């Protein structure tokens, strides 16, 4: 019974970061319809920023996080303007291929700069875990889930309650009309991509200190992000949040009770299952597939 409670606790914490990843991608993939292969690289980028800031430049651990996120936002905006600018309205295939090229270039740049050896980031939390009865959780992970939830709430507010958010939703529902209404489409595209990328960077910056920072860390994260987006339904932030938690629970319980080796497979099996049974995802609005 204790084991189960521990698994559930672990899953909740993991779910927060997965939700961040998923929301970031649902904005880009779901709303912008860009199969964003660089999402994993932004995740890794966030982690590398934390490494550089905290370990190499000695910046305070808590200050480094918003800095890493800002850098992620900036990188996302750059990618969008540089690469996707010319491809507005192009095939989904074309943008996808460009994103693949960008992904390869980015990951290998990271490896070239930082070498293939995994780096670790020190954190200022006490080594003793927080004990809640029979359960224990490290302070670092508590911090991660708290920050993740804050960011999710902030994003929700941004997209659903601000003018910028309204402009985003309008642009992707109907570009022409939005443009006619005076919305700067280009800026909105850049802003949405940058926001999605910033969230991915945040997830990486939060998880980097818990695990390791290595050039390939983004690949698995990106794959899971796609699973979450599909699970929750394209474009739905609520869906992505819930999807993140659902994936975390499935993974954690599957690993704990079925097989730890197939842990990462859970996400992919979930995607395939959902796409075959209910392709629109659990929480999406009605839309045509393909």
Partner 1 sequence: MSKLVGLMASAAILAVSASLASAQDTIKIGVTQPLTGAFAASGNYVAQGAKIAEDEINAAGGVLGKKIQLIIEDNKSNPTEAVSTVEKLIQRDKVPVLMGAWSSTLTLAVMPKLEEYKVPMVVETSSSGKITTSGNPYVFRISPTSAMEAKAFQPLVAKMGIKKADFLYTNNDFGIGSGAEFSKMLKENGVQVGVMETMDPKANDFSAQLAKIRASGGDTLFVTTAVEQLTLILKQAKEQQLKVRIISCGGSNSPDQLIEQAGDAANGSFHTVFFTPWFTEVTKNPDASKRYMDEWKKRGHHVGGLTEGFRGYDGIYVAVAAIKAAGKPDPEAIRAALWNVQVKGVYGDIHFIKQGPAGKESAQNEPAVYLVTITDGKVAKTTF
Partner 2 sequence: MNRYLPWLFVALLASVPLWLTDFYFLHILITTGIFIIAAMSLNLLLGYTGQLSLGHVAFFGIGAYTSALVSLGFQVELFSGFTVSLAPKPAWFAMLCGVIVAGFTGYAIGKLSFRVRGAYFVIVSISFAEVVRLVAVNWVELTQGPMALTNIPALTLGAGAFEISFLRKPAFFILVLIAGVASFILISRLVNSRAGRAMIALRENESLAMSVGIDVTRYLVIATIISAAIAGMAGALYTHYIRIVDPDIFLFIYTVTMVIMVVTGGKGTLAGPIVGGIIFGFVPEFLRAMAIQPEVQWIIYGVLMVLVVYFLPQGIVPAIGRYSASRKRLPDADALPATSTQVRQK
262 lies in the site for partner 2, by CB under 8 A? yes
**Which is nearer to partner 2, 20 or 274 (by Cβ)?**
274
Triad 31, 248, 223: Cα angle to 5°: 50
Whether the CB-CB separation of 200 and 39 falls below 8 Å is answered with yes
**Phi, psi at residue 209, to the nearest 5°?**
-65, -20
**Burial class of residue 153 (count of CB atoms within 10 Å of its CB; 0-12, 13-18, 19+):** exposed
Whether the CB-CB separation of 216 and 204 falls below 8 Å is answered with no
CA distance 238 to 203: 17
Quick one: what does residue 3 bind among partner 1, partner 2, none, with the CB cut-off 5 to 8 Å set by partner type? Answer: partner 1
Site size for partner 2 (CB under 8 A): 43
109 lies in the site for partner 2, by CB under 8 A? yes
As measured in angstroms, the least distance from the Cβ of 26 to partner 2 is 12
Quick one: what does residue 85 bind among partner 1, partner 2, none, with the CB cut-off 5 to 8 Å set by partner type? Answer: none
CA distance 97 to 115: 26
**Which is nearer to partner 2, 107 or 140 (by Cβ)?**
107
Whether the CB-CB separation of 59 and 53 falls below 8 Å is answered with yes
As measured in angstroms, the least distance from the Cβ of 108 to partner 1 is 11
Whether the CB-CB separation of 287 and 280 falls below 8 Å is answered with yes
Map the footprint of partner 1 across residues 253-282, applying CB under 8 A.
255-256, 260-261, 263
Quick one: what does residue 289 bind among partner 2, partner 1, none, with the CB cut-off 5 to 8 Å set by partner type? Answer: partner 2
Map the footprint of partner 2 across residues 194-253, applying CB under 8 A.
219, 223, 226-227, 230
Q: Which residue's structure tokens are 């074309």?
A: 94
Quick one: what does residue 211 bind among partner 1, partner 2, none, with the CB cut-off 5 to 8 Å set by partner type? Answer: partner 1
Site size for partner 1 (CB under 8 A): 28
Closest CA to 201 of 72, 28, 23, 78: 72
The binding site for partner 1 (CB under 8 A) comprises 3, 6-7, 10, 111, 115-118, 120, 122, 127-129, 131, 136-138, 141, 211-212, 215, 252, 255-256, 260-261, 263
């Amino acid at each position: 019974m204790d084991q189960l409670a521990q698994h559930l606790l672990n899953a909740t914490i993991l779910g927060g970061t997965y939700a961040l990843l998923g929301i970031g991608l649902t904005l880009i993939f779901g709303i912008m319809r860009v199969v964003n292969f660089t999402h994993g690289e932004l995740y890794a980028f966030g982690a590398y920023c934390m490494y550089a800031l905290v370990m190499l430049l000695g910046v305070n651990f808590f200050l480094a996080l918003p800095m890493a996120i800002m850098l992620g936002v900036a990188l996302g905006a750059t990618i969008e303007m540089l690469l996707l600018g010319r491809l507005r309205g192009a095939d989904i295939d074309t943008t996808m291929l460009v994103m693949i090229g960008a992904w390869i270039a980015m990951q290998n740049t990271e490896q070239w700069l930082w070498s293939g050896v995994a780096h670790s980031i020190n954190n200022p939390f006490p080594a003793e875990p927080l004990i809640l009865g029979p359960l224990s959780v490290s302070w670092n992970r508590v911090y991660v889930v708290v920050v993740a939830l804050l960011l999710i709430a902030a994003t929700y507010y941004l997209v659903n309650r601000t003018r910028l958010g309204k402009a985003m939703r309008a642009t992707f529902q109907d570009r022409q009309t939005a443009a006619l209404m005076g919305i700067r489409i280009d800026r909105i595209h850049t802003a949405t991509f940058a926001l999605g990328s910033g969230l991915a960077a945040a997830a990486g910056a939060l998880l980097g200190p818990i695990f390791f920072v290595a050039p390939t860390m983004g690949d698995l994260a990106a794959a899971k992000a796609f699973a979450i987006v599909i699970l929750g339904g394209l474009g739905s932030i609520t869906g992505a949040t819930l999807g993140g938690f659902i994936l975390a629970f499935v993974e954690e319980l599957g690993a704990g009770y079925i097989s730890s080796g197939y842990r990462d497979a859970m996400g992919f099996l979930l995607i395939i299952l959902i796409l075959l049974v209910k392709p629109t995802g659990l929480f999406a609005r009605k839309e045509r597939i393909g």
